[in-house]
Amino acid sequence: MEPAEVEAGGGIAAARSSPAAVQATNDDAAASKLSCVTKGYMKDDYVHHFVRRTTKRAPIINRGYYARWSVLRKLMLQFLNAGSGSDDHKRKQILSLGAGFDTTFFQLQDEGLAPYLYVELDFQEVTSKKAAIINHYNDMKEKLGPDASISIEKGEVTSTNYKLFSADIRDIPKLDAVIHMAEMDPSLPTFIIAECVLIYLDPASTDAIVSWASEKFSSAIFFLYEQIHPDDAFGEQMIRNLERAVAWDMLKIYNDFIDGGERRRIELLELFDEFEEWHMMQEHYCVAYGINDPEGIFDDFGFKE
């Protein structure tokens, strides 16, 4: 899911009351990612399958999307590589809440970094479209292995290492049932992703989801990317429910966490003169993560001052 564009009579309040308004933003997000890929900001060999018409985004949008992609990827790789063995990623799992048209699993598969299990959840209108696209394109379908099963009608994809299911994550009993159906192991280290998802929910639903995740998975990292300030209630909820939690705004992440060489590379890709707007925009987005780590395998995970 993505932030809805704020228009008269619309915006987040409208998105909260209309799941269709949230689902419709998947097309926009995929178009933004493809714009970045086309300009050379990042590599993604599959996002073009989800975009009907290529759209050129403004440099500030491209840079912002790159920063978002980069911080998630860097933290995800930290998670996958945590531990003492070279194949530690093979005994970990990833759960993406409101996954939309994300293609991370397929990229990780190409790189030999896919976890033991990668599970994606979203509204059925979204998962049915995604299942149809995966079924249509052999370069995606073949990544699932010979035993994969795809139901476009149900919006489900099941394979040994990848599962796609429909779910309204506000319904905690249903969410729990879907996790069981996906054969997730609550004892395995789990990376939970919520990108522009919780902002659409009422506070009670947000609290319930974070509490559920904390109780369900004994060893877990909850990654949150939202259009909020680091000191907002989301961060406070994480601190209450998880052993340790950290939140940085995206301007600090861009300057202090994203690799300096990568920053210099992407800053040469397009003419850029929107510095004041860039600073304002990035200060209103943040990444927060909360950690349950009883075994101490994530001691080196996260942002470093």
Per-domain residue ranges for the chain? 70-292
| Whole-structure pTM value | 0.90
Residues 6+ apart with CB under 8 A from 56: 35, 38
- The confidence score (pLDDT) of residue 34 equals 97
Give the separation between CA 70 and CA 271, rounded to whole angstroms: 20
Give the separation between CA 225 and CA 86, rounded to whole angstroms: 29
151, 97, 253, 226: CA torsion to nearest 10: 120
- Residue type for 181, please? M
pLDDT bin (cut points 50, 70, 90) of residue 4 is very low
- The confidence score (pLDDT) of residue 12 equals 37
Which structure tokens are listed for 32?
Answer: 């933004």
Question: What is the rounded average pLDDT of the residues 69-89?
Answer: 87
Put residue 210 in one of left, alpha, beta given phi > 0 → left and psi -120 to 50 → alpha.
Answer: alpha
Q: Which residues of 101-124 are buried (b: 16+ CB within 10 A; e: fewer)?
A: bbbbbbbbbeeeebbbbbbbbbbb
Determine whether the annotation assigns residue 98 to a binding site.
yes
Determine whether the annotation assigns residue 239 to a binding site.
no
Task: Work out the angle between the directed axes of helices 59-81 and 25-39 (0-180°, nearest 10).
Answer: 90
Architecture field, domain 70-292: 3-Layer(aba) Sandwich (3.40)
Where is pLDDT greater, at 53 or 256?
A: 256
Please determine, for residue 84, whether its predicted confidence score (pLDDT) is greater than 80: no
- The confidence score (pLDDT) of residue 135 equals 98
Neighbours of 50 (CB within 10 A): 22
- What average pLDDT is seen over the chain? 89
282-302 per-position pLDDT tens digit:
998 999 999 999 999 999 999
Distance from the Cα of residue 85 to its chain's centroid: 26
3-state secondary structure (DSSP) of residue 164: strand
Determine whether the annotation assigns residue 168 to a binding site.
yes
- The confidence score (pLDDT) of residue 199 equals 78
Question: What is the rounded average pLDDT of the residues 204-233?
Answer: 87
H or E segment to which residue 83 belongs: none
Where is pLDDT greater, at 199 or 15?
A: 199
H or E segment to which residue 28 belongs: helix 25-39
